[in-house]
Amino acid sequence: MKKVLKVGMAGLMAVSMFGCSSSKEEDNTKVITIGISPDYAPYESLNKDGDIVGFDPDMVELFEEYLNEDSDVIYSLEFKQMDFDNIITQIQGDQIDLGISGFSYDPQREVEWSDPYLGSSQVAILPADSDITSIEQLEGRSLAVQTGSTGEKAANEVKDAKISGLKSVQDIMNALAAHQYDAAIVDSGVAKNYVNNSDFIMLDTPLLDEQNFIIAKKGNTEMIDLMNECIKKFLASDEYADLCAKYELTPVVSE
């Protein structure tokens, strides 16, 4: 767990563990490209050195080890950085193989879904001086959400809410800190991270309970089967419990 993933300053679209390339096979090496949006701490974010850090990068590093344990193929897992709402489009266009970026299930997303690897929920986060104390009081308020997220879907269920979609969670939180919105609807793990490190509060009652998954192109069951094998090993490992505790995220029960 000592390696980190570098972001090239010249081109922030491509990020990899061992270099940068599109999905391909060369000799006995198979490159699996993964779309990621590192603005979603503690799942994934950039540190001061431009490295991608968080639960998902740590998990992917373990997955690469699992895939290379007993295989004639050498697997290399590479990240490509992009906006969250572009990941599915890139998957459908065969530009990347997988999406790993805190994805929660939505039947309207035309992709293949892995087994779940984390529990999650969508919650309201507010400035520390907010007078809102319950989800009922979100009615008629201005709410910020990440475009294309299930937080957007949850916000649409709030009566008379004025909803604004922004591309990045960092933009959302900056706007919320400046009181441009009454609240933001984000993943509970993300909300806890901001509450612990900034001047925000969150409502404990979730607007939507969900789980996190890995996604692939519709019909690419081979890739999903490969990821499910890794998820099964991951959930049964000591590292899984350690990472959930480290990043304060909710584990799922391994069958």
CB-CB contact of 102 with 171 (8 Å): no
Residue 129 CB partners (closer than 8 Å, separation 6+): none
In angstroms, the CA 11 to CA 82 distance is 11
Residue in the structure block whose two tokens are 């090993």: 233
pLDDT in tens, the chain (255 residues): 333 443 433 333 444 443 334 444 457 899 999 999 999 999 999 999 999 999 999 999 999 999 999 888 999 999 999 999 999 999 999 999 999 999 999 888 999 999 999 999 999 999 999 999 999 999 999 999 999 899 999 999 999 999 999 989 999 999 999 999 999 999 999 999 999 988 999 999 999 999 999 999 999 999 999 999 999 999 999 999 999 999 999 998 655
Task: Count CB-CB contacts under 10 A for residue 213.
Answer: 25
Look up the pTM and report it. Answer: 0.82
Q: Which of 96, 87, 109 is nearest to 43 (CA)?
A: 87
Q: Which SS3 state, helix, strand or coil, does residue 202 take? A: strand
229 φψ region: left (φ > 0), alpha (ψ -120 to 50), beta (else): alpha
Q: Dig out the tokens for 63 from the structure.
A: 């997955």
Task: Count CB-CB contacts under 10 A for residue 70.
Answer: 6
Residue 225 CB partners (closer than 8 Å, separation 6+): none
